[in-house]
Amino acid sequence: MAEEKINDNGYDHLIRITLIGDNNVGKASILKRFARNEWDAKPVGTSVAELEIKTVKVFDKTIRLHMWSIQKSTSNILNSYLRGDAIGIVYDVTNRDSFKNLHIWFTEVERYARDDAIIVLIGNKCDLVEDRQVSLNEALPYAKLHNISHIETSAKTGAGMIDLFGLFLENSVKTLQQKQNKFKNTINVEVEKQNRELPSTHAKWSCI
Amino acid sequence: MESGLDLKKLMGRAEQMDLGHSRIRSVYWKMYLGYVSLEVKRWKTELETKRKAYEQLWNKYKDLGREKDDKDKDKDEDKNKNKNRNRNKNKNKDKDKELRERIELDVERTYPEHLFFNCAYVQTHLTDLLFVYAKEHPHLLYQQGMNELVAILYLVNMVQSTLLVTPTTSPSLWEVVQDCRFIDHDTYWLFDMVMRYMSKYYYHNNNNNNNNNRQSSSSSSSSSSLLTNLPPITLRCQWIQYDYLAQVDARLCQRLGELKIEPQLYMLRWIRLFFTREFDIGDVCILWDAIFSTFCHHRYIHIQNLFQRQMPTLAKTRTQTPEFEMEAQLSPFHKQVLDQQLEFRMVDYTCCAMLMLIRQQLMDGDEQECLSRVMRYPALEDIRSLVEQAHCVKLIIEASHPLYRSSHPNLGLHLHQLHTHIQPTSVSTVTTPTSSHHFHRHTLQRTHSNALKKTHTPNHATAATHRHPPPPPPPPQRSFSFSHSRPSLPTHPVHSPFFVLTITKRVTTTMIMIIIIIIIIIIIII
């Protein structure tokens, strides 16, 4: 009954994306940039959890994204939110400690996440070239070790946003549609740029 | 004894929600939270000892985690801090420094839109306070969220402090209580009081982490054991949604269950931060007035109860013993019990009230709408409607509480009315017949004006009347509409003298008209 109701409300799939990571790495900023194309120089620290909602169109499917950013200290209580479809583990490229702490987050994810969840390692604040403390040469092998994708983003400039959420969407939709096998590795999506103008690279889908 | 303040009067003041205008909100909060007792005579000594205690703590920790600038102790603290502020960042990272940096980072992100909190002076002081607290509570340390609580307390203390222009040898009580030199001290102890009851909702992280680590090493059965071993904050959230809310609005509770919205998801923030993220600072203060005054009320009910248990022989003479004396006579054991039993219950009631205010959206909306509604609570036109609603929830829930129910005289009578009134509430219209509040409101109008003045005017009546609260006059059958959108119709027009006046006006005009017509007709006939 609940499923039918959801479908009546104008979307085909619901994808839950959760971002976790140390404090002040910019989890909420990434979501804010993607969902509302806004950026705060002085953001209010996330307390407990923040939710952003966005609807996108991939092929003819309308997909609603529930994007959570979860505060460090509450991940224990909210572990059910790590059971979503996709998880982004965020670190700050200008903060070595946040990179060092990644193993904590991996254990969390391994413990609570679903087996088919898409996990992406996200290095945020890549626009701050001069302050960089974690190089790509370090991060890439680390991601490879854990067998997950790696993406560098900047919530400030919007770089990497499309790549990141394209990756999330592509893979989530793929998992959702696996039974029907409708989707191939490369998604050709019609471009339907509306009000948002995010710097885009290759993945293409439209915002509603 | 004669200088003791009447608890009921203190409560009434907050229920009227006008502490903001009184300019002595900080004094009220000090009393509500038990930082100073109800006996005004003792305030000077109480404050002195507490402030000295903080002074010692501060001296103990002030140099930790930062570069020492000057060794000599300056008597004027503020100067000292200002000097210390320009510390340079050292590369060797000890724990203190890390802790300090962590606090600083969050303090900088506390209310970034408010000029007050942007000021470096305020930020340093907030950091200092949190740092001292963290050092004093090594198990808890600093947790995110504390910064917001301390910020509001600091703001209230700061705004309402008094500057001694000419240091006199015998300052008035007012000047002592709100002395601007002791803002830090007072804020620290107020914060300490709040955290005494709230810390367990911050604690669990560490405990849980340890548990998890142990479990992960042993087996993969962590998820099953986690269910049985819920942290207190989760329990409290679930208790609010599945028990309190079910008591006041069963259908809404059922609806939230259907939506599968976990209560801890949104309520965690409400509870931990005392709604600081949901409303404006000014509104938050009004809300806190209610939270703290209810807490104070509960506190003294518990004290009374424990006092009876501790000294059953004295139970008969209990009626003559004022609260502050009972408090002073409690044994250390019973004081611990008191701390265990107390909670900021008003927070729970406010959570329920908040859900009930957005009832319509929650009932009609889909999962997404509801989620975003509770995650981003809509701005309220008037915070008072929420506080009134919370008081209503309180009345209903405490009716079945063994201790608290006795504190609401004539409760059973109104419960039925409350239930009928509270059910059909929608977002903008809240009707709350809170008889007991009106009672306070009317009886206390004259006396509350300045609690501090009572020190000079001995008040025998207050201490005596309050143990035997006179049964309130038959409740006025009035319902208040707090909405701005709804036209305010007099629900019981007969009681309104204005309405009667308008009726008589109308009647007389029609009578005159008829008479005139008759006269005209008579004239014509003639």
Q: Which pLDDT score, from 0 to 100, does residue B222 have? A: 41
Determine which of B2-6, B191-195, B268-272, B493-497 has the lowest per-residue pLDDT on average: B493-497
pLDDT digits (tens, 9 = 90+) for B285-343: 889 989 998 998 888 888 888 888 877 776 555 556 777 777 888 888 888 888 888 88
Q: How far off is chain B from A14, nearest CA to CA, in Å? A: 10
Query: Residue B445, Cβ neighbours under 10 Å: how many?
Result: 11
A182-196, B225-239, B435-449: least confident range = B435-449
Whether the CB of A4 is below 8 Å from some CB of chain B: the reply is no
B226: contact with A, CB 8 A cutoff: yes
Task: Judge: A51–B376 Cβ closer than 8 Å, yes or no.
Answer: yes
Residues 6+ apart with CB under 8 A from B346: B290, B291, B293, B294, B295, B390, B394
Angstrom distance (rounded) from CA B299 to CA B296: 5
Count the neighbouring beta carbons within 10 Å of the beta carbon of residue B93. 11
Q: Which of B269, B370, B372, B377 to mutate to test the interface with A (most CBs of A within 10 A)?
A: B269
pLDDT band at B139 (very low <50, low <70, confident <90, very high): confident
Q: Tell me the shortest Cα–Cα distance from A108 to chain B, in angstroms.
A: 10
Q: What is the pLDDT of residue B128?
A: 92
Residue B164 has pLDDT above 80, yes or no: no
Assess contact for B133 and B195: CB atoms under 8 A. Answer: yes
B120-136 and B43-61 helices, crossing angle to 10°: 90
Q: Which residues contact B79 (CB under 8 A, 6 or more apart)?
A: none
Average of pLDDT values for B74-100?
55
Helix-helix angle B232-239:B200-218, to 10 degrees: 120
Contact partners, residue B111, CB within 8 Å, separation at least 6? A44, B117, B148, B151, B281
Measured distance CA(B148)–CA(B526) in Å, rounded? 87
Sign for the CA dihedral angle at B385, B389, B394, B395 comes to positive
Out of B102, B112, B204, name the one closest to residue A42 (CB): B112
Question: Smallest Cβ distance to A49: which of B204, B231, B265?
Answer: B265
Question: Does the pLDDT of residue B168 top 90, yes or no?
Answer: no
Vertex A78, ends A76 and A83: CA angle to 5°? 105
Pairwise pLDDT comparison (B11 vs B384), residue with the higher score: B384
Contact A6 B366 (CB under 8 A): yes
End-to-end CA distance of chain A: 26
Q: Which residue in B225, B264, B275, B373 has the most chain A C-beta atoms within 10 A of its own C-beta, making it the best mutation to test that interface?
A: B264
Per-chain mean pLDDT for chain A = 77
Residues of B in contact with A47 (CB under 8 A): 144-145, 148, 269, 272-273, 277
pLDDT digits (tens, 9 = 90+) for B35-54: 888 888 888 888 899 999 99
- Both tokens of residue B305? 């109860």
pLDDT the model gives residue B476: 37
pLDDT at B386: 92
Q: Do B105 and A111 make contact, defined as CB atoms within 8 angstroms?
A: no
Identify the residue whose tokens are 């002030």: B62
Q: Taking residues B240-245, what's their average pLDDT? A: 91
Distances B167 to A57, B23, B50, B172 between C-alpha atoms, Å: 71, 22, 21, 11
Q: What is the pLDDT of residues A53-87, one digit of tens each?
A: 888 887 777 888 888 888 766 656 666 677 788 89
Size of interface A-B (CB pairs under 8 A): 86
pLDDT at B317 (0 to 100): 57
Residues A19 and A88: beta-carbon distance below 8 Å = yes
Question: A180 falls in which pLDDT band (50, 70, 90)?
Answer: low
Handedness of CA B35, B40, B42, B44 (dihedral sign): positive
Task: Provide the pLDDT for residue B88.
Answer: 43
In sequence order, what DSSP letters do the residues of B67-130 get, joined into one string? -----SPPSSHHHHHHHHHSPPPPSS--HHHHHHHHHHHHHHTSSTT-HHHHSHHHHHHHHHHH
Res B237 pLDDT > 60: yes
pLDDT digits (tens, 9 = 90+) for A15-59: 889 898 888 888 888 988 888 888 887 777 777 778 888 888 877
ipTM above 0.90, yes or no: no
Is the predicted pLDDT of residue B209 greater than 50, yes or no?
no
Tell me the two tokens of residue B58: 């501060």
Taking 70 as the threshold, does the pLDDT of residue A205 lie above it? Answer: no
Contact A76 B205 (CB under 8 A): yes
Band (pLDDT 50/70/90 cuts) for residue B122 is very high
Give the end-to-end CA distance of chain B in Å, rounded to a whole number: 85
For residue B1, give the DSSP letter: -
Contacts for A194 with CB less than 8 Å, ≥ 6 apart: A206, A207, A208
Of A43, A45, A76, the CB nearest to B209: A76
A contacts of B238 (beta carbons < 8 Å): none
Predicted confidence at residue B347, as pLDDT, reads: 93
When pLDDT is cut at 50, 70 and 90, the band that residue A122 belongs to is very high
Tokens matching residue B101: 């940096």
Angle at B501 between CA B495 and CA B504, to 5 degrees: 115
CB atoms within 10 A of CB B108: 18
pLDDT at position B162: 67
d(CA B189, CA B30): 9
pLDDT at B348 over 90: yes
Closest among B6, B41, B47, B8 to B26, alpha carbons compared: B47
Residues A177-183: what's their mean pLDDT? 55
B258 touches chain A (CB under 8 A): yes
Q: Tell me: the pLDDT tens digits for B472-491?
A: 333 333 333 333 333 333 33
Q: Binning pLDDT at 50, 70 and 90, where does residue B245 land?
A: very high
- pLDDT higher than threshold 70 for residue B192: yes
**CA distance linking residue A73 with residue B145, whole number of Å:** 10
Residue B95, chain A, CB below 8 Å: the answer is no
DSSP output for B220-262? STHHHHHHHS--HHHHHHHHIIIIIHHHH-HHHHHHHHHHT--
Find where tokens 């930790």 sit: B64
The model's confidence at residue B411, banded by pLDDT at 50, 70 and 90, is very low
Greater confidence (B253 vs B166) lies with B253
| pLDDT value, residue B53 | 93
Q: Name the band, by pLDDT with cuts 50, 70 and 90, for residue A195.
A: very low
* Average pLDDT value for chain B: 71
Does the pLDDT value for residue A5 go beyond 70? no
- Alpha carbon distance B431, B320 (integer Å): 39
Are A76 and B208 within 8 A, CB to CB?
yes
Q: Which of A146, A134, A135, A137 is nearest to A110 (CA)?
A: A146
Q: Give contacts of A 110-169 with B, CB under 8 A.
A: 111-112
Mean pLDDT within B98-120: 87
Q: Which range has the worst mean pLDDT, A14-18, A71-75, A108-112, A201-205?
A: A201-205
Q: For residues A109 and A90, give the distance between their C-alpha atoms in angstroms, rounded to a whole number.
A: 12
Better pLDDT: A175 or B80: A175
Tell me the CB-side half-sphere exposure of residue B17, using CA atoms within 13 A. 19
Q: So what's the pLDDT on residue B376? A: 86
Query: What is the arithmetic mean of pLDDT over B258-275?
Result: 86
User: Is residue B287 within 8 Å of B256, Cβ to Cβ?
Assistant: no
- Give the whole-angstrom CA distance, residue B380 versus residue B446: 31
Dihedral sign for Cα B206, B211, B215, B217, please: positive
| Closest to A121 (Cα-Cα) out of A159, A136, A75 | A136
Evaluate if residue B215 carries a pLDDT over 50: no
pLDDT at residue number B319? 58
pLDDT of res. B440:
36
* Rg, C-alpha atoms of chain B: 27
Q: Check if the beta carbon of residue B386 is closer than 8 Å to that of residue B482.
A: no
DSSP type of residue B481: B
Output the pLDDT for position A76. Answer: 61
Q: Which domains does chain A have, with CATH numbers?
A: 3-183 (3.40.50.300)
- Going by pLDDT thresholds of 50, 70 and 90, the confidence category of residue B208 is very low
Q: Mean pLDDT over residues B187-197, rounded?
A: 92
pLDDT digits (tens, 9 = 90+) for B505-519: 667 778 888 888 888
Tokens of A10: 């104008």
Q: Please report the pLDDT score of residue B406 as a whole number.
A: 65
Residues A133-156: pLDDT tens digits?
A: 988 898 899 999 888 899 999 988
The length of chain B, given as a count of residues: 526
Instruction: Answer whether B215's CB lies under 8 Å from B221's CB.
Output: yes
Q: How far apart are CA B520 and CA B271, in angstroms?
A: 75
Q: Quick: pLDDT tens for B7-31.
A: 666 666 666 666 666 667 888 888 8
β-pairing, A61-70 vs A49-58, is antiparallel
Residue B388: is its pLDDT beyond 60?
A: yes
